Amino acid sequence: MARLGDAPIGAAFLALAGAVLWHIRDFPPAPGQPYGPALFPGLIAAGLAVASVLLIASAFRSGRRAAAFSGNAGEGGDPGSAGLAGPAARRWLPFAATVATLIGYVAWVDRLGFIITAFLMLCVLFAAYRVRLAWIAPVAAVSTLVVHTAFYKLLKVPLPWGLLSGWVW
């Protein structure tokens, strides 16, 4: 997998520290005492900035300038244009499916209900992780029902029913 080097990551953290320091300027002081709500975020951001600079410095000091920008210069290629066809895309597909199902679950669980959303989520993930086709639906159904029973029935977690609210059991 293509990786970023320490230098750009350090730069990003340095920018974050700068943004925090900028943001806390308008924090009001605490009434009647010298140390207000801006003190700790300020100290932390300053620490983060120093550590980021040290990280960038050590990335450059480690010798190979190229390596500072790309974690694995040898492997080559940047992650964005690593080719949408071929093995790279096939390798990123399960990752994309994982992120997509996570976001999909959070976005739709209230409307569709836990049982439907979880079943769909598992089906998509099993398919993306290349589980044998015949296993996908049964394993997804059983896992969904087991998790539902454990959390909804035993641990009393109010998992939403959504579309199935007419058939609550």
Partner 1 sequence: MVFNLQTLVVMVLASLFGLFVGAVPGLTATMATALLVPITFFLPPIPAVAAMVTATAMAIFAGDIPGCLVRIPGTPASAAYVDETYRMTTKGYAETALGVSLVFSVIGGLFGTAVLILAAPALAAAALQFSSFEYFWLVLLGLTCAVFVSGDAPLKGMITLFLGLLLGCVGLENPAAHPRFTFDSPDLLSGVSLIPAMIGLFAVSEVLRFSLDANPLAAVSRQVGSVFRGMGAMIRRYPVQTLRGSSLGTVIGALPGAGADIAAWMSYAMSRRFSKEPEKFGTGHPEGLVEAGAANNSALAGAWIPALVFGIPGDSITAIVIGVLYMKNLNPGPTIFINNPSSIYAVFLLFIIANLLMLPLGWLCIKVASRLLRTPRNLLMPVILLFCVVGAFAINNSPFDLWILVAAGLIGWFLETHGFPIAPAILGMLLGTMLEEHFIRSMIKADGNLLAFVERPIAAGLAVLVLLVWSVSGWLGWRRGRAAPRG
In the complex, the residues that contact partner 1 under the rule CB under 8 A are 1, 3-4, 6, 9, 13, 20, 23-24, 27-31, 33-37, 39-41, 44-45, 47-48, 51-52, 54-55, 58, 61, 63, 71, 91-92, 94-95, 97-99, 101-103, 105-106, 109-110, 114, 118, 121-122, 125-126, 128-131, 135, 139, 143-144, 147, 151, 155-159
Q: Using CA atoms, how far apart are residues 41 and 22, in angstroms rounded to an integer? A: 11
* Shortest distance, position 10 Cβ to partner 1, whole Å: 8
Nearest to residue 124, comparing CAs of 156, 84, 97, 148?
Answer: 97
159, two tokens: 């998992």
* Shortest distance, position 166 Cβ to partner 1, whole Å: 22
Among residues 19 and 163, whose Cβ is nearest to partner 1? 19
3-state secondary structure of 4: strand
Among residues 19 and 167, whose Cβ is nearest to partner 1? 19
Among residues 55 and 164, whose Cβ is nearest to partner 1? 55
CA atoms within 13 A on the CB side of 6: 17
Among residues 24 and 116, whose Cβ is nearest to partner 1? 24
* Shortest distance, position 18 Cβ to partner 1, whole Å: 13
Question: Are the CB atoms for 68 and 10 separated by under 8 Å?
Answer: no
Nearest to residue 58, comparing CAs of 121, 5, 22?
Answer: 5
Among residues 15 and 99, whose Cβ is nearest to partner 1? 99
Q: How many other C-beta atoms are found inside a 10 Å radius of the C-beta of residue 117?
A: 24
Q: Using CA atoms, how far apart are residues 37 and 24, in angstroms rounded to an integer? A: 9
* Shortest distance, position 11 Cβ to partner 1, whole Å: 12
